[in-house]
């Protein structure tokens, strides 16, 4: 079973033909998980533009790089993944960045909070790498106009 739950997905403004592989920001305070996510992103054919370990750094990196996708852990120091997601949505420069939340919280309430914060998808830990790869591909592919 796929553990991914999705929110409303709109077009990916930064994925343009000929613009190279999708650019992904990875943020997780667990080094092992962060490295695992980076491997999954690479398997999905995307490029990790930044891999950070806290919410504050994630927000700064997102504003600097404006990636196509941000894979954010919910429980991070500095700012939680939910707070980063809300901040991205509030900033016109980053409002179009797709967000995939990763969290150890797997309850319905946890998922609902994540989607309410503006996330495009929510993946509960522990996740299958293959599921993460599919989600990265799905969220970074250009949507038909």
Instruction: Answer yes or no whether residue 36 interacts with another protein by CB under 8 A.
Output: yes
Residue with tokens 């993460």: 132
Nearest approach in angstroms of CB 127 to another protein is 7
Report CA-CA distances (Å) from 56 to 17, 62, 82, 99, 125: 31, 10, 12, 16, 22
Nearest approach in angstroms of CB 129 to another protein is 5
Judged by CB under 8 A, the chain residues 66 through 125 that form the site for another protein are 75, 104-109, 125
Nearest approach in angstroms of CB 73 to another protein is 9
The answer for residues whose C-beta is within 8 angstroms of residue 122's C-beta and 6 or more apart is: 4, 5, 6, 7, 100, 101, 103, 110, 111, 114, 115
Nearest approach in angstroms of CB 29 to another protein is 9
Question: Looking at beta carbons only, is 9 or 104 nearer to another protein?
Answer: 104
Instruction: Answer yes or no whether residue 127 interacts with another protein by CB under 8 A.
Output: yes
103 class by beta-carbon count within 10 Å (0-12 exposed, 13-18 middle, 19+ buried): buried
Q: How far is CA 63 from the centre of its chain?
A: 14
Instruction: Answer yes or no whether residue 32 interacts with another protein by CB under 8 A.
Output: yes
Tell me which residues touch another protein (CB under 8 A): 30, 32-33, 36, 39-40, 75, 104-109, 125-130
């Amino acid at each position: 079973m796929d553990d991914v739950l999705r929110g409303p997905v709109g077009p990916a403004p930064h994925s343009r033909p000929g613009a190279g592989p999708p650019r992904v920001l990875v943020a997780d305070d667990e080094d092992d998980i962060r490295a695992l996510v980076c491997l999954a992103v690479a398997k999905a054919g995307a490029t990790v533009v930044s891999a950070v370990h806290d919410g504050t750094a994630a927000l700064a990196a997102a504003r600097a790089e404006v990636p196509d996708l941000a894979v954010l852990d919910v429980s991070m120091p500095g700012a939680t993944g939910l707070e980063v997601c809300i901040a991205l949505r509030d900033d016109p420069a980053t409002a179009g960045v797709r967000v995939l939340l990763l969290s150890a919280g797997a309850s319905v309430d946890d998922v609902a909070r994540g989607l309410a914060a503006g996330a495009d998808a929510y993946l509960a830990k522990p996740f299958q790498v293959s599921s993460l790869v599919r989600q990265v591909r799905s969220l970074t592919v250009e949507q038909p106009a």
